[in-house]
Structure 1
Amino acid sequence: MNLHLVSDATGETLNSIARATVAQFEHASITYHRWSLIRTRFQLHRVIEGIEAEPGPVLSTLVEKGLRGDMETACQRIGVPVVHVLDPTLTMLQEQFGEKAASRPGRQYVLDADYFRRIDAMHYVLAHDDGQAQPGIAEADVVLVGVSRSSKTPTSFYLANRGIKAANIPLVPGLPDAPALDDPKCPVIGLTLDAEALIEIRRHRLRMIGAAGTAMAARQDSGDYVDLESVKAELLWARRLCARRGWPVIDVTRRSIEETAATVLKLMEAWHDRRRKAAETPATSA
């Protein structure tokens, strides 16, 4: 089946909605047609030609009334359904705010303070990946810790896209703890996973390194890096370290990066709530 995603902005909203909904259909075979930055009638005409050539339902985030009307008329003529996915939410918020929506495309992508905060967070993650620039970790919003290949870096980058400055520090048995972890000014959260899943990830990484012709792959492949008992001991050591420090741990074995990041955000919120309540509680005299 053809599915047309028509957006007046980047199309990320539609991509997320389509991915979330289509995932509920085990036997669906979908051919996606993505039409982004559609803001003129000329551009919409090309979209309509594409829908005529390969008919299928349309999901739309168009907000300009004229383009929406043209789209609806064309879809009715072609005989395909069209759903404006933002309408239910916009209608509800208009009623709550007592204000009519502006209907201007791409307003979520303006270069405002939130945009620059995300860019700043991305630069921060690049500078503080894998334990780099530890003095700057005092500026972090969250620190992720875990053994090698436990999804610390991709989770950090996903959080940066939410404007979160996420540093990450590897936990390595036999090495002293990073000084930045002695008195953290932000939440520290551990990431862990099943030993066999971790070994598979590490082996894949080593194959990639080996393809680049380095000697490190063979050296690590023959050592503790991918030995099952050694990896189990490494993960147990890391869990015990987190428990001693009072750091919560997320098992990422069956979690997507998005799910891991969402859990990190919840744990960050809980950490700040505890700090705020502690600050509000008056000290009792002896």
Structure 2
Amino acid sequence: MSHRSLNLHLVSDSTGETLNSITRATLSRFENHHVVHHRWSLIRSRLQLDRVLEGLNHEPGPVLFTLVDRSLRLALEETCSRLGVPCLSVLDEVMDLLQGQLGARAKEKRAAQHVMDADYFRRIDAMHYVLSHDDGQGTAGIHEADVCLVGVSRSSKTPTCFYLANRGIKAANVPIVPKSELPPELDAPPCPVVGLTIETNALIEIRRHRLRLIGADGVRQDTNDYIDHDSVKAEILSARRLCNQHGWPVIDVTRRSIEETAATVLQLMEAWHARRSATQDADAAADAAARAAPAAG
């Protein structure tokens, strides 16, 4: 079966993140495809659009766009029609559905999701927090965290924390180190604690790669506990046992992407808060009943 090469033009009046995410998600379902991406971001004037149209004339292909300006949309659609290439505004159907359900017209405002509002500053604050509390730093600040990730070295705690920070989540990162105590702040944590684990062989390979990157070629890889199979296996089992003792849920990240791991962390956070809320409601009801009992007597 032959596979065509495809020119795909992504035209946005903002950063293009939405289009990149949509195409990444959809193209991942096609095997052996060859797609040449032409990314045109921050297209906000006719002069900027003319560069897009010139590129489209030179290398025709389907167009996905997110343009708010009606005159720019019309010019792009007319050129696509003349060239006989499909052209799709990826947000129109979603916008129409929501307008119908909400009974209100959407504002014609470009890059509305990137405004510097409270949510934006919350994400920036979360990013600063992660930088200050990475790999066991600043453990006294765990009381400010929304979630705390624990696990052995190189179990993807740091990238997961940064991904969560982009969602506005303050994530602390505490390594579980053999023969070392956990910080006392985790004895009664004020936030959910989630353990990350990984299969032994996968972790060894990641650690070997890490050693090569930092120029640790002189390390005897057959005796170094950091990558010794039995030592690493024991380290992983010990960390998992520790999580079980504390009742912390554990996520196996061996075959998960960072995005999938972060999504599971968010689900576990929701479950933790739901249980905590139910416990507080039950305690409040018990207190109320206790106070009412003497009055009834």
TM-score scaled by length of structure 1? 0.95
CA offset at residue 219 of structure 1?
A: 5.9
Choose which of 76, 80, 83 in structure 2 pairs with 1:75: 80
Cα separation, partners in 2 of 1:278 and 1:33, compared to 1, 3 Å: same
> Residue 89 of structure 2 corresponds to which residue in structure 1?
84
CA distance in 2, matches of 1:219, 1:125: 33
> Residue 3 of structure 2 corresponds to which residue in structure 1?
none
CA offset at residue 137 of structure 1?
A: 1.1
CA distance in 1, matches of 2:57, 2:184: 62
Structure 2: tracts of 5 or more residues without a match:
1-5, 291-297
Contact 1:2–1:33 under 8 Å retained in 2: yes
Q: In the alignment, residue 280 of structure 1 is paired with which amino acid?
A: D
CA offset at residue 67 of structure 1?
A: 1.2
Asked which structure has the greater CA Rg, the reply is: 2
Matches within 5 A, 1:126-137: 126-137=131-142
Contact 2:129–2:170 under 8 Å retained in 1: yes
Cα separation, partners in 2 of 1:221 and 1:104, compared to 1, 3 Å: farther
User: Is 2:115 aligned against 1:110?
Assistant: yes
> Residue 20 of structure 1 corresponds to which residue in structure 2?
25
Matches within 5 A, 1:144-155: 144-155=149-160
CA offset at residue 222 of structure 1?
A: 3.3
> Residue 247 of structure 2 corresponds to which residue in structure 1?
246
> Residue 144 of structure 2 corresponds to which residue in structure 1?
139
CA offset at residue 280 of structure 1?
A: 1.2
Contact 2:221–2:228 under 8 Å retained in 1: no
CA distance in 2, matches of 1:156, 1:140: 11
1:182-221 deviation digits (Å, cap 9, x = unpaired): 11000000001111000000000000111xxx68x61677
TM-score scaled by length of structure 2? 0.92
CA offset at residue 99 of structure 1?
A: 0.8
Count of residue pairs brought into register by the alignment: 282
Contact 1:206–1:221 under 8 Å retained in 2: no
> Residue 238 of structure 2 corresponds to which residue in structure 1?
237
CA offset at residue 27 of structure 1?
A: 1.6
CA distance in 1, matches of 2:276, 2:8: 48
User: Is 2:121 aligned against 1:124?
Assistant: no
Does 147-156 or 47-56 show the bigger shift? Answer: 47-56
User: Is 2:13 aligned against 1:8?
Assistant: yes
Choose which of 57, 61, 78 in structure 1 pairs with 2:62: 57
CA distance in 2, matches of 1:105, 1:41: 15
1:131-165 deviation digits (Å, cap 9, x = unpaired): 00111111000000000000000000000000000
Question: 3-state SS of the aligned residue for 2:33?
Answer: coil
User: Is 2:209 aligned against 1:204?
Assistant: yes
Contact 1:6–1:34 under 8 Å retained in 2: yes
Cα separation, partners in 2 of 1:221 and 1:125, compared to 1, 3 Å: farther
Contact 2:195–2:250 under 8 Å retained in 1: yes
CA distance in 1, matches of 2:220, 2:154: 17
CA distance in 1, matches of 2:106, 2:181: 56
Question: 3-state SS of the aligned residue for 1:197?
Answer: helix
CA offset at residue 252 of structure 1?
A: 0.5
